[in-house]
């Protein structure tokens, strides 16, 4: 696509950003829809300066990643209720002279699961109590799930469960309970330590849905073990693509080309393995 004086600019702000797949998916989405946009990644430690730059340069929208998801909020004009609930923003829409903050992470994970099974009324175990667990926890609760949090540092699981109106359990006890859906939100099993598994095999029961939000590798050791135990598995690409698709729709007002966005991510990740 040709870049002209009318091309809208979108960006990622974070540090580091060198491994981000967001430029790949968003530029693919612009290409597939013909939307006159370009998406670039800015590696920056300056969240206040980034917000000022978005205003000054007329950047139409931004993705926000670590370490700015919380501290950027003070520099925005309006924050959507769900992002406020989570306490973090991963998306900025610059519209009507204002910066609006949203969080699409939880929605991304919810959509990835709902492609395979419903969430309402299900017993969902979230492993981890960090930023991703928090975003997913609120989305699952809002969807009517019965959420349980387990985390290496039990106190953090307890705090998150309290905020969610959910329950917490120690990692040692998860095998004693039954769950319909298990979601790993820890980096355990991520490249390069791909042999690690965040839960004992005894928790993986036939018919359970297991999602790993890690997407490098696509097929984590947890998903391999879950499949062998008769579980349905969901890899981390779905969550990543759907959170990006929601950003794209917020920015452009048009439906995101999810299939093309997903294809470009799989192509990239599968080539990494070679
Ligand atoms: P975070 O806020 O740093 O939280 C990390 C969580 O993992 C904490 O609960 C931490 O437990 C736990 N943890 C870390 N290392 C561990 C270990 N060795 N053993 C057991 N638990 C461990 O990180 P985050 O932002 O939530 O992201 C977590 C992961 O999700 C990352 O791998 C990230 O790449 C991935 N992610 C994927 C998507 C997607 O779209 N697919 C989106 C967001 C994030 P403690 O409290 O004990 O430290």
The residues facing 100 across adjacent strands are 78, 93
Of the candidates 265, 230, 271, the residue with the CA atom closest to the CA atom of residue 256 = 265
Tell me how far apart the alpha carbons of residues 200 and 203 are, in angstroms, rounded to a whole number: 6
Protein fold of 107-235: Rossmann fold (3.40.50)
The ligand 1 atom at the shortest distance from the C-alpha of residue 127 is: 9
Pocket test for ligand 1, best of 132, 237, 269 (most atoms within 8 A of CB): 132
Q: Is the beta carbon of 257 within 6 A of some atom in ligand 1?
A: no
Same fold, 8-103+238-272 and 107-235: yes
Q: What's phi and psi for 104, nearest 5 deg?
A: -105, 5
- Residues contacting 181, CB < 8 A, separation 6+: 113, 117, 119, 122, 123, 124, 125, 145, 208, 209, 210, 211
Ligand 1 centre from 187 Cα, in Å?
5
Tell me how far apart the alpha carbons of residues 144 and 177 are, in angstroms, rounded to a whole number: 19
What pLDDT, on the 0 to 100 scale, is given for residue 273? Answer: 64
Tell me how far apart the alpha carbons of residues 169 and 153 are, in angstroms, rounded to a whole number: 11
What pLDDT, on the 0 to 100 scale, is given for residue 1? Answer: 74
Structure confidence by residue, pLDDT tens digits, 114-158: 999 999 999 999 999 999 999 999 999 999 999 999 999 999 999
Q: Is the beta carbon of 90 within 6 A of some atom in ligand 1?
A: no
pLDDT (average), residues 98-112? 98
What are the structural domain ranges in the chain? Answer: 8-103+238-272, 107-235
The ligand 1 atom at the shortest distance from the C-alpha of residue 152 is: 47
The ligand 1 atom at the shortest distance from the C-alpha of residue 186 is: 7
Structure confidence by residue, pLDDT tens digits, 13-49: 999 999 999 999 999 999 999 999 999 999 999 999 9
What is the rounded average pLDDT for all residues in the chain? 97
Tell me how far apart the alpha carbons of residues 69 and 79 are, in angstroms, rounded to a whole number: 12
Domain 8-103+238-272 has CATH 3.40.50.10860: yes
Tell me how far apart the alpha carbons of residues 55 and 18 are, in angstroms, rounded to a whole number: 24
What pLDDT, on the 0 to 100 scale, is given for residue 215? Answer: 96
Report the percent of the chain where pLDDT is more than 70.
99
Q: Residues with catalytic annotation? A: 69
Q: Is the beta carbon of 60 within 6 A of some atom in ligand 1?
A: no
Which two three-digit tokens encode residue 228?
């062998």
Structure confidence by residue, pLDDT tens digits, 173-182: 999 999 999 9
Ligand 1 centre from 4 Cα, in Å?
40
Q: What's phi and psi for 198, nearest 5 deg?
A: -80, -15
What pLDDT, on the 0 to 100 scale, is given for residue 274? Answer: 63
* Ligand 1, atom 34: closest residue by C-alpha: 214
């Amino acid at each position: 696509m040709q870049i002209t004086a009318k091309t809208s600019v979108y960006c990622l702000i974070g540090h580091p950003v060198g491994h981000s797949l967001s430029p790949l998916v968003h530029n693919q989405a612009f290409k597939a829809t013909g939307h006159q946009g370009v998406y670039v990644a800015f590696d920056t430690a300056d969240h206040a300066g980034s917000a000022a730059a978005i205003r000054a340069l007329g950047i139409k929208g931004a993705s926000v990643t670590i370490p700015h998801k919380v501290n950027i909020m003070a520099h925005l004009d309006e924050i959507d209720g769900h992002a406020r609930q989570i306490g973090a923003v991963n998306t900025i829409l610059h519209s009507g002279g204002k910066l609006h903050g949203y969080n699409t992470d939880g929605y991304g994970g919810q959509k990835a699961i709902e492609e395979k099974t419903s969430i309402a009324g299900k017993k969902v175990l979230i492993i981890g109590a960090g930023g991703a667990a928090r975003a997913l926890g609120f989305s699952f609760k809002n969807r009517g799930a019965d959420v349980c949090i387990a985390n290496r540092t039990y106190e953090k699981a307890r705090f998150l469960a309290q905020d969610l109106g959910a329950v917490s359990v120690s990692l040692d006890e998860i095998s004693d309970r039954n769950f319909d859906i298990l979601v790993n939100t820890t980096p355990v099993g991520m490249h390069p330590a791909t042999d690690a598994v965040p839960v004992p095999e005894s928790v993986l029961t036939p018919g359970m849905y297991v999602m790993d939000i890690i997407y490098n590798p696509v097929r984590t050791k947890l998903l391999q073990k879950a499949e062998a135990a008769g579980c349905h598995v969901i890899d981390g690409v779905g969550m990543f693509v759907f959170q990006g698709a929601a950003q794209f729709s917020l920015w452009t007002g048009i439906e995101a080309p999810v299939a093309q966005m997903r294809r470009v991510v799989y192509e990239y990740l599968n080539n990494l393995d070679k």
